[in-house]
Amino acid sequence: MRLRVNGKEVEAHPGTLLLEVAEVPTLCHHPHTETRGLCRLCLVEADGRLVPACATEAREGMELRTETEGLRTLRKTLLEWLALTTDLAQAPDLLALMERYGAEPERWGEVPGRRGREVLKDNPFYLRDYAKCVNCRRCVDACGDGIMGVYALTLEGRGLLAHPTTPLDRPLPETPCVFCGNCIQVCPTGALRPLSMEV
C-alpha cells in the first residue's frame, strides 16, 4: 500500500508502524519491549490527527506529517519537562534531541521532580538511580511481558507521581529478579546501570 510522508510517496506493508516509514524521535519505544505510545515524543500528524508513531499502523492513502511547527513545539516542551524533573546527564540521545529542538528547560523555573532521589544499591550487580529516570517504562516491559516474564519491576503511582520500582518497594534480592540486566540494556538514560561502571 501507499501513503504520503511529508509530501513524498512511500510504500509500506500492512501492519507497518508509522515510525518504520518516517524518521521521528522516540523514547519509550524499543523493538524488544511491549511499551507503546507512552512518552508522546514520537507524535506525528496523520490525516490531521496527532497519533504516536510507535503505536499506529500505516494505512492506505494516509497523509503523514512529522515535523510541523506544532509538533516541533510539542517535542521541545516535552523534552524541557523531562529535563526539568530528571537528570539527563547520562542520556546522550535525549541531550542531542534537546539540542535539535532548541529546548530551554530553564524558562519554566524550578519544578519539583525526582532529581533529588537517592541511588538505590541493594545487590552486587546494578544500581537504580531513579533521579535519572524518565518513566519510559522500557525496564518494566523488558522484565515483564517484553522479554523475561519475571515481573520484578513494576510501575507505582499515577500521573506525575508514576515511577518504576519493585513490587512493594522491596530490595531487588527479595523480588523474583534474576539479574539478567535486560532492564539496563533497554534503559535510555543511565537510571539503571551496572555497578562495574562506577569507579
C-alpha cell at 106: 530553564
CB 167, min distance to another protein, A: 16
Eight-state DSSP code of residue 14: T
Q: Which stretch binds another protein (CB under 8 A): 18-26, 98-106, 113-121, 190-198?
A: 190-198
Q: How many residues bind another protein (CB under 8 A)?
A: 21
The number of beta carbons lying within 10 Å of the beta carbon of residue 58 is 25
Residue 41, judged by CB atoms within 10 A of its CB (0-12, 13-18, 19+), counts as buried
Q: Give 51's strand partners.
A: 44
Contact between 134 and 39 under an 8 Å Cβ cutoff? The reply is: yes
3-state secondary structure of 131: helix
Nearest to another protein of 10, 150 (CB atom):
150
Nearest to another protein of 44, 177 (CB atom):
177
Per CB under 8 A, contacts with another protein among 2-61 are 32
Nearest to another protein of 85, 189 (CB atom):
189
Nearest to another protein of 72, 170 (CB atom):
170
Per CB under 8 A, contacts with another protein among 69-98 are none
CB 64, min distance to another protein, A: 27
Closest to 167 measured CA to CA, from 178, 155, 185: 155
Nearest to another protein of 4, 32 (CB atom):
32
For every residue of 91-120, DSSP letters joined together read -HHHHHHHHHTT--GGGG-----STTPPPB
Q: Distance (Å, rounded) from C-alpha 86 to C-alpha 95?
A: 12
**Per-residue contact flags (x/-) with another protein for residues 156 to 175, judged by CB under 8 A:** -----------------x--
Eight-state DSSP code of residue 17: B
CB 150, min distance to another protein, A: 8
The residues that touch another protein, with contacts defined as CB under 8 A, are: 32, 123-126, 145, 147-149, 173, 178-182, 184-185, 193-194, 196-197
